[in-house]
Amino acid sequence: MSNNLKFYIGIDLGLRGAVVVLDSNSNIRYKMVMPLRADNTPDVKKIYAVIRHFEKMGSVHVILERFAGFHGQSKKSVASLERQGGKIYGIVELMDIPYTASLPKNWQKVICGDTKQYDKVSWVKTGNKDDDGKDIKKKVVKKDTKKIALVTVNRLFPKEKWLATAKSRVAHDGMVDACLLALYGIRKGL
């Protein structure tokens, strides 16, 4: 093993997740969509093989997206993500590989910076009426985190394509996030 090579492996959890490996100079060394088994669960053996391959070439740090459920998500969906993520965390733990788990809002703040121009603004009824009988509305601002991540990764890696397959037309969200997770590891000096 060469001690001067360091690899950052970003793993975006979930069935539409991905794995991206960057070297310490932010060069993309490998990327793949989340490998799935016949039962539609992550193929942890393939993820293990990727980590082991790069561990043989140098030191490795894995950066996982820490699962954070969101309002309106079903219990079944939350449980499924936790099971899938748990298997991947287990592999990394058993391999005794250093890893960091980051909440999306934390890595996005470090990598994407100020993102106010991508806010989605909408007005929703509050259920109340004003003195004239008109509906009172309130302003709701939501971050379009997928768009922010794609704009950021395209700015940082302008020649790279983020497609799941040669026939794909739309960037793969999981691959974009996995790359930015790996970059987060580099920027934080992990």
Domain assignment present for 123: no
pTM of the model: 0.81
Domain assignment present for 125: no
CB of 54 closer than 8 Å to CB of 9: yes
Domain assignment present for 128: no
Alpha-helical (H) ranges within the chain are 44-57, 75-94, 104-112, 145-156, 173-187
Domain assignment present for 133: no
Domain count, the chain: 1
pLDDT digits (tens, 9 = 90+) for 13-57: 888 899 999 999 999 999 999 999 998 888 999 999 999 999 999
DSSP strand pairing (59-65 vs 6-12):
parallel
Domain assignment present for 127: no
Measured CA distances, 69 to 17, 63, 66, 79, 96 (Å): 15, 18, 10, 10, 27
Task: Show the domain range for 160.
Answer: 6-113+144-187
Q: What is the CATH number of the domain that holds 10?
A: 3.30.420.10
pLDDT digits (tens, 9 = 90+) for 75-94: 766 666 677 778 888 999 99
Domain assignment present for 137: no
